A and B are shown apart, each in its own frame.
Chain A
Amino acid sequence: MEKQQTPFGFHKLIFILLILLSVSMSALGRDILSDIIELKIESHIASGGNFDSVTVELPNLTGKTLAKVIEYCKKHEESSEKTGELSEKWDGEFIGGVEVGMLMDLFLAGYELKIKGLNDLAASRIGGMMLGKTPEEIRVIFDIKEDPLCKKSKSPKEGERFARDNPWAFQ
């Protein structure tokens, strides 16, 4: 059932439905997440596909991350119904309590599912953690290792040149 490997693989609709059911459809209401799924199904049918074989593009989120995404969406739906404004404090605690490894997943999920608030929140958090840090410190915090598959300029000289042109930033 798996599609060919792409950087961001896809899951079957059934998988999402199971997850959505597990967090109670009613609570999600016209949640952004289900909006996206509806849209994708509509465009699939509109382009001549039939419902039996519908696949919904969903970034390869782990269940853990998706649960977090749904937690975020639910909270924001609730608070926009009640007061019309979103609680910055809640956002701060929400993103502050996320472990470093999951941050990027949440960030990517926000980006790929077009949940702007989450995307921005995670970007701010990640960016905030980098402020005032040296490249080495950043590598340690986020556990970054050079990816051998990275297609960008193979020559190490490139990086050295950049650092040499801007030595002041490493003083």
Chain B
Amino acid sequence: MEPNTKESKKPDLMVESEEEFRPWSNLPDDILRQLIEKLYPVDRVRFCAVCRNWRVPIKGIQSVDKFPWLMTYLQFILYDEHTFEYTLADPVYRKSYTVREKSERERFYHVHASKFGWLLLRDEQRSEETTTCFLLFTPFDKKFIELPELPSSGYDLGVATFSSSPACSDCTVVAIGGKSYVGEENYIVISTYRSRDETWSSKKFCGQIFEPVKDVAYSRGKVYCSISYGLVLGAYDVADKTWNLLVHLRHDGFGDVLLDSYRITNHLIESDGEILLAIHPNERDWRVYGFDISKATWVVKQSLGNRALFLGATSLSLAAASGGDTRDIADMIYYHELDKSVGFSLTKSSSVREMRERERAQMAIVEYDEDDGVMNGDDETDYDHGSLNQGGGNEDEKQLFGWCASGVMNRIWIQPPY
């Protein structure tokens, strides 16, 4: 007896429709979310436009794809018509989307942080000598959250970041400024603003700081601050409101890395609870250090393992998943230059090679392995980030997003909120 002889038993629900299958336009949200998990950001937005039933809140649904997008802009405003314009580059479909928006006033922003699909901006138009205005902005659906004015009289406000998605109730914004001129009063002011609070709360710490904070990383309730290229590492505990110096190295603390060039950039990165410091001592080189709590110092990293670092306004660390779309980015450092965004393989770099002369050379980036494809139907394309890593004759350097915007632009990594 064949099972399909039982078809006549199907319930009345189906009788109205001639099809013997259940309708697609009346599904529980749970089911829809499972489908959305399989989709990339653009597809998620389009998914919601298919029919009314499919309109579920797509923010925060787990995603296999964590690869950041590239946002580029010349200025946030074009002065002629009060329009602000920027481009979002989608690494999956290799497509650039231009967003243009009319604005009732001139807008000029400085980007302080980029996290969870949101940017923390300083409104240069409204900020004055005595106050600073911050706002949170998501370039995807163009939502603004204006924060209360922060009194910042008499000092430079250098860095700012935030803890979690502004959609969360415990999102905390931190802004750090201070005075650091030798011979004058030295202090650091740390201001925090908790989502839905009325005002900022600020705390001032005197002494010890002789240079401005260059970068911050928010990790587990603490704000880590790098000072003097990371020779000094401080941490501010947001709940306890305490400030501690964790690392305090001498000028030659990084050995052979010369720290006398104004071109040197450094980034602090939170990576799986670990604090990393990436230093770019010259055009050809990167060094990465991990913070060792027990020794209160930096320990050089010869490899990032399966991680990739995206350095920028806010640096982020991604674990290259064993499968999926991030498998080829392991051990890479991606960063912006004036007119391009490039990748650098830490293990392959010449300086690290020297360090491990006796060890095996050439073990990092392998070309995309064709046989390693994911299961796919006939009519789908295998969208693969790994293949974006092409180009660039230099062995140490691979261009990322080479297909989109060129020219001198402001560049920001941004993770889609969808």
Interface residues of A (CB under 8 A from B): 2, 5, 7, 9, 11, 15, 18-19, 22-23, 60, 62-67, 70, 88, 91-92, 95-96, 101-102, 104-105, 107-108, 111, 119, 123-135, 138-139, 142-147, 149-150, 152-153, 158-159, 162-163, 165-171
Task: Take A22-B1, A129-B379, A153-B52 as given contacts and tell me if A62 and B13 are in contact as well, using a CB distance cutoff of 8 Å.
Answer: no
Verify A146–B25 contact, CB threshold 8 A. Answer: yes
Residues on A with beta carbons closer than 8 Å to the beta carbon of B7: 62-64
Task: Take A123-B37, A131-B39, A171-B97 as given contacts and tell me if A60 and B13 are in contact as well, using a CB distance cutoff of 8 Å.
Answer: yes
Q: Which of A22, A101, A131 has the most CB of B within 10 A?
A: A131
Describe B's contact surface by its main secondary structure.
Answer: loop
Residues on A with beta carbons closer than 8 Å to the beta carbon of B48: 159, 162
**5 interchain residue pairs of minimum CB distance:** A127-B38, A168-B97, A169-B45, A9-B11, A147-B25
Q: How many residues of B contact A (CB 8 A)?
A: 61
CB proximity of A11 to chain B, nearest CB, Å: 7
Verify A166–B377 contact, CB threshold 8 A. Answer: no
Verify A170–B52 contact, CB threshold 8 A. Answer: no
When the two chains form the complex, which single residue of A2, A138, A165 contacts B46, counting CB atoms closer than 8 Å? A138
When the two chains form the complex, which single residue of A2, A7, A129, A166 contacts B380, counting CB atoms closer than 8 Å? A129
Q: Please name 10 pairs of A and B residues whose Cβ atoms are closer than 8 Å in the assembled complex, sorted by A.
A: A11-B9, A19-B6, A63-B5, A129-B380, A134-B46, A139-B50, A147-B23, A147-B25, A168-B140, A171-B98
Residues on A with beta carbons closer than 8 Å to the beta carbon of B358: none
Interface positions, chain B 20-41, Cβ under 8 Å from A, are 20-27, 30-31, 34-35, 37-41
CB proximity of A170 to chain B, nearest CB, Å: 7
CB proximity of A131 to chain B, nearest CB, Å: 6
Residues on B with beta carbons closer than 8 Å to the beta carbon of A96: 377-378
Residue of A nearest to B33 (CB): A123
Residues on A with beta carbons closer than 8 Å to the beta carbon of B41: 169
Interface residues of B (CB under 8 A from A): 1-7, 9-14, 19-27, 30-31, 34-35, 37-43, 45-53, 55, 88, 93, 95, 97-99, 140-143, 375-381, 383
Starting from the known contacts A64-B7, A127-B39, 11 additional A-B residue pairs (CB-CB under 8 Å) come to: A5-B12, A63-B3, A63-B5, A96-B377, A101-B19, A124-B375, A147-B23, A147-B51, A149-B26, A159-B55, A169-B46
Complex formed: what's the CA distance from A150 to B383 in Å?
34
Residues on A with beta carbons closer than 8 Å to the beta carbon of B2: 22, 63, 67
Residues on A with beta carbons closer than 8 Å to the beta carbon of B3: 19, 22-23, 63-64, 66-67, 70
CB proximity of A129 to chain B, nearest CB, Å: 7
Task: Take A96-B378, A128-B38 as given contacts and tell me if A7 and B13 are in contact as well, using a CB distance cutoff of 8 Å.
Answer: yes
When the two chains form the complex, which single residue of A108, A133, A134 contacts B31, counting CB atoms closer than 8 Å? A108
When the two chains form the complex, which single residue of B22, B40, B51 contacts A146, counting CB atoms closer than 8 Å? B51
Residue of B nearest to A130 (CB): B43
When the two chains form the complex, which single residue of A15, A67, A102 contacts B9, counting CB atoms closer than 8 Å? A15
Residues on B with beta carbons closer than 8 Å to the beta carbon of A18: 1, 6
Residue of A nearest to B25 (CB): A147
Residues on A with beta carbons closer than 8 Å to the beta carbon of B51: 139, 144-147, 150
